[in-house]
Amino acid sequence: MIEEYYSQIQVIVWVLLLVTGNYLLFGKVPDKTVIDVYRKSRKIMGFAFLVYCVQFFLQWKFSVRDEFPQAASALNITFFYLASVLLGFSFISLLDRKYLSRKRVVIDLSVCAVVAVMVWGSIVFMSYTVSFWVLMLAALWLFIYVAHISLIFFRTYYNVVKKIKNYHSDNVDIFIQWMSKSVFLAIIMGLLCSTMAFAPKWMITIYLIASIPFFFYIFCCFIDYLVYYEEVEDAIVNELPVTTDENLSTESETEKSLKLQLLKEHLQVWIENKGYLQPKINLTELARKMGSNRSYLSDYINSNYSCSFYQWIARLRIEDTKKLLLEEPDLPILLVAERMGFSSGSHLTRLFTQQEQQSPVSWRKEHTGK
């Protein structure tokens, strides 16, 4: 039976977590101020991995599940609760540097400590029945906490995706998709954990096996994310300033009209010169070329074209892509994407299909027969 491998799987998991957790904590990271948030978030994730490691090690070393089933349940709940708090700190702070305040850290860790004291106090000082219901309530609270922290994460995540699409011309948002996948998996693992505290050994063994790719995926993605972190951070940190009515009122109608006219003229020249075919354009760079500021330019694009900066650039590029497909029907899609400023052939295909409801290959075949 699968539970025969319970002990061996525990060893594999805690050794994996020990190695990866220490690497996240102490692995070399470039000494650059711009990645301070990444460095802090990575260390928190390392602590979370080590919390999981200690929990699995204790379960394996002392055979807690066999000797003290209620203590095993208490161990699961308290350690998984702490790990969930740390996972939330790590992921959300990567997307919102203001999230990890001293007040939030104190409150979340204090609540975690209170739950741990209640759970272990009931095990030591109360009857089996009372401790069972305390464990049930603690598991329910863990369920609620995981749901709450997940809601905060996804709200933050989609807000950041919106910022990225209003700042970069390329699909930079793909660099943070691993976070949403990781948190989605973490939700499943966390919610299952609240029931694993009372599950039979064979179910826990399956849970442990499933956790191996989960932890390894987060570890690999966290390491790889360093390569793309600065591109994402540009869009998050360089958030558009709020344009207030007071600021607007300082400009006369003539000044506003003149500024708008100049922006239109500069944009028209830029479009005629096909500046949008340049790869990796961002809003700040274009605003500088237009002699404007990114807030004004963003408002202009959003209001006049009813789309984000990313969508506006994509539309311009796709119109030129259709002309190129007709003019050079034998040109490979990869080279078409390169000439049109797209980051890859798959990026071109995805955006082209979204706009034209068919792939560039199908569109070209329909219009040229090739």
Span 100-137, pLDDT tens digits: 999 999 999 999 999 999 999 999 999 989 999 999 99
Distance CA 217, CA 61 (A): 26
Task: Kindly list the distances between the CA atom of residue 292 and the CA atoms of 88, 247, 269, 281, 310, in Å, as whole numbers in the listed order.
Answer: 38, 16, 14, 16, 18
The pLDDT, as a whole number, for residue 194 is 61
Which structure tokens are listed for 158?
Answer: 């989609």
Question: CA 37 to CA 57: how far, in whole Å?
Answer: 30
The pTM (predicted TM-score) of the whole model is 0.85
- The yes-or-no verdict on residue 353 having pLDDT over 70 is yes
**Is 2-237's fold the same as 253-368's?**
no
Mean of the pLDDT values across residues 291-303?
87
For the ranges 26-30, 291-295, 315-319, which has the lowest average pLDDT?
291-295
Q: What band does 238 get if pLDDT is binned at 50, 70 and 90? A: low
Residue 218 token pair: 């987060």
Given pLDDT bands bounded at 50, 70 and 90, which one contains residue 70?
confident
Tell whether the model's pLDDT for residue 49 goes beyond 50. yes
Share of the chain above pLDDT 70, in %: 93
Quick one: average pLDDT of 170-174? 86
Q: Is the pLDDT of residue 283 over 70?
A: yes
b/e per residue, 299-329, with b = 16+ CB within 10 A? Answer: ebbeeeeeebbbbbbbebbbebbbebbeeee
- pLDDT band at residue 242 using 50, 70 and 90 as cut-offs: very low
Q: CA of 245: how far to CAs of 69, 108, 249, in Å? A: 63, 38, 6
Q: 3-class SS at 168? A: strand
Domain boundaries, the chain: 2-237, 253-368
- The proportion of the chain whose per-residue pLDDT surpasses 90, expressed as a percent, equals 56
**Mean per-residue pLDDT, 315-329:** 94
Architecture in CATH of 253-368: Orthogonal Bundle (1.10)
Domain 2-237 has CATH 1.10.10: no
CB 40 within 8 A of CB 94: no
What is the pLDDT averaged over residues 238-250? 48
pLDDT of 43: 96
pLDDT at 334: 93
What pLDDT score was predicted for residue 97?
A: 87
Lowest mean pLDDT among 9-13, 116-120, 191-195: 191-195
Average confidence (pLDDT) over 320-326: 94
The three-state secondary structure class of 282 is: strand
Q: What is the pLDDT of residue 250?
A: 60
In this prediction, residue 246 carries a pLDDT of 45
Q: What is the mean pLDDT of the chain?
A: 88
Q: What is the pLDDT of residues 146-157, one digit of tens each?
A: 889 999 999 999
Out of 14-18, 140-144, 260-264, the most confident range is 14-18
